[in-house]
């Protein structure tokens, strides 16, 4: 049985990803900053909850030790900042911590185990707002952080053997607390490509950016 860690998984897209993986027989660990909320969500799908604040290196290290070896890492946790990041340095720092430094440190701790077993899947939940092809159009620090996450995806994939695959995906505009009630997609629709990337076959792609299971430009 494959084992997966999904960050920010107690609600929204992360929870939908966790459900999709559990349905496919994956042992899922839901990473959540609020452990109580994580436990409630985990019980609904027969998964385990793990306290994990991806903005805190110590929390990441503790979580990595607790999960041990995993086959699938989904870096889903995110924050949406609307301010001018040249005026709000703290907002920029937190955006980078949650959506770039956190994913990097999780890969730092967990990917070596994947390499030892010659199997791994890393999915970075990004956004079209971080695509240079679309002008890095995201608000505030969000677009800059997602663009950096995309670059991290490419750089990491280049350093790893092809049996450890690292890809980024854009879920689209999803009805979550972040996306709002008027968004055009359900969490399940937003999660679909991430689940597909998490379960890629041996001949699947690596180092790519995807939406609706199709490659899109960076």
Per-residue pLDDT of 82-112, as tens digits, reads 777 788 899 999 999 999 999 999 999 999 9
Domain at 3-215, CATH from 3.30.1600.10, 3.40.50.300, 3.30.1300.30, 3.40.50.720:
3.40.50.720
Lowest mean pLDDT among 6-10, 89-93, 113-117, 176-180: 176-180
Q: By 3-state DSSP, what share of the chain in percent is helix, strand and coil, each rounded to 5? A: 45, 15, 35
Domain ranges of the chain: 3-215
Q: Percent of the chain beyond pLDDT 70?
A: 94
DSSP 23: H
Using CA atoms, how far residue 21 sits from 30, 37, 137, 143, in Å, is 11, 19, 31, 28
Q: What is the spatial distance between Cα 7 and Cα 29, in angstroms, rounded to a whole number?
A: 9
Is 142 one of the annotated active-site residues of the chain?
A: yes
For 179-193, b where at least 16 C-beta lie within 10 A, e where not — what string? beeebebebebbbbb
Pairing of strands 209-211, 72-75: unpaired
Whether pTM exceeds 0.85: yes
Catalytic choice (82, 104, 119, 142): 142
């Amino acid at each position: 049985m494959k084992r997966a860690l999904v960050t920010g998984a107690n609600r929204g897209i992360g929870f939908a990803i966790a459900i999709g993986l559990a349905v496919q027989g994956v042992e899922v660990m839901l990473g959540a900053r609020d452990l109580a909320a994580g436990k409630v969500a985990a019980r609904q799908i027969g998964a385990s909850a793990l306290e994990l604040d991806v903005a805190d290196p110590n929390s990441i290290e503790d979580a990595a030790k607790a999960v041990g070896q995993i086959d699938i890492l989904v870096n889903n946790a995110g924050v949406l900042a609307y301010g001018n990041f040249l005026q709000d340095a703290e907002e920029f720092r937190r955006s980078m911590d949650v959506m770039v430094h956190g994913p990097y440190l999780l890969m730092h701790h967990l990917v070596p185990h994947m390499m030892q077993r010659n199997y791994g899947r890393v999915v970075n939940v990004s956004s079209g707002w971080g695509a240079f092809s679309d002008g890095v159009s995201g608000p505030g620090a969000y677009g800059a952080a997602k663009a950096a996450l995309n670059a991290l995806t490419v750089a990491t994939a280049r350093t790893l053997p092809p049996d450890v695959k690292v890809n980024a995906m854009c879920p689209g505009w999803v009805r979550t607390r972040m996306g709002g009630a008027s968004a055009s997609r359900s969490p399940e629709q937003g999660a679909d490509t991430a689940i597909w990337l998490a379960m890629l076959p041996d001949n699947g792609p690596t180092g790519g950016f995807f939406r609706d299971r199709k490659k899109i430009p960076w």
